[in-house]
Amino acid sequence: MRCLYFLLLASPTLAQTRAPKTLRFDLTALPTTRDSFVFLLDRKEAGFAVWQYETRSTGTGETVVFTQHSELQPLEQEEQRMVMDRATARPLSFYYHLELFSPASDTLLVEVELNVKNGTVDGHRLVNTKSGRAEEVAVHRALPPEAVWSALEFYGAAVTNAEPGESLAVPAYRETRDSITMLRFVAGEPATIQVRAGRFQVLPLRSGDLRLYVTRVPPRRVVKGETSDGRFSFELAGIAAVVPTQP
């Protein structure tokens, strides 16, 4: 019986029945911090971003409140506020405001405001254009049980469970498009990189056309991101204490 037991453990058929590993985000590993980044376009400074992570206590547990402000000169200004359950990464609320200044775009403003209750996301999406058109669309969509905000592609990358060589995915809600997609990370091999804030041991994570470099030991954070063609990148420039936001 002992021999049969070990043969079963080694059986390919048995291995195939194991549940596949799913992409997870451990928000309890996020530092409470205010991180600033510099944008680079064709290796020239082109703007900045500030990411902030706060932890709040509620009657049922804790939440992570993520806020960010960025400017990509001279094309756009962006603000975002995203709230998630700290223990499960479950989406709770989302706010997004984008102003565009590109002569090639008719869009002037995009604004999204969403709340999640009982597994359903409700809210609205507003678009204003230079031609004077204003379009407001109601949002009402049931989420898959494991779904996360798709914006975690950037802001939660440092706290995934991806190990070198793994390719992991999870359903995600695309906030600005009101659709469900699969958020996937492919993990590379550990490396050491230099950015403006210092030298870091990182794990590269690829997601579509984007590559992110994240630390794997506390405090876990994103230290660099770049497009596959290398034309656009951003890197950590400074770390500061949180500036508390309104509840």
pLDDT per residue as tens digits for the range 140-176: 999 999 999 999 999 999 999 999 999 999 999 999 9
Total domains in the fold of the chain: 1
Q: Look at residue 5 and tell me if it is in a domain.
A: no
Higher pLDDT, 10 or 79: 79
Q: Look at residue 75 and tell me if it is in a domain.
A: yes
The rounded percent of the chain whose pLDDT value lies above 90 is 83
- Per-residue pLDDT band for 121 (boundaries 50, 70, 90) equals very high
Q: Look at residue 247 and tell me if it is in a domain.
A: no
What does the pLDDT read at residue 89?
97
Looking at 2-6, 198-202, 206-210, which range is the least confident one?
Answer: 2-6
The partner residues of 149 in beta bridges, in order of sequence, read 173
The boundaries of the domain holding residue 149 are 45-240
CA 218 – CA 52 distance, rounded (Å): 16
Three-state secondary structure call for residue 16? helix
Q: Look at residue 33 and tell me if it is in a domain.
A: no
CA 224 – CA 184 distance, rounded (Å): 18
Q: Look at residue 15 and tell me if it is in a domain.
A: no
Torsion, CA 211, CA 71, CA 219, CA 58, rounded to 10 = -120
Three-state secondary structure call for residue 118? coil
Q: Look at residue 96 and tell me if it is in a domain.
A: yes
- Per-residue pLDDT band for 9 (boundaries 50, 70, 90) equals very low
Residue 1 has pLDDT above 90, yes or no: no
Instruction: Tell me phi and psi for residue 165, to 5 degrees.
Output: 90, -10
List the structure tokens of 177: 């498009």
Q: Look at residue 31 and tell me if it is in a domain.
A: no
Residue 10 has pLDDT above 70, yes or no: no
DSSP conformational letter for 144: P
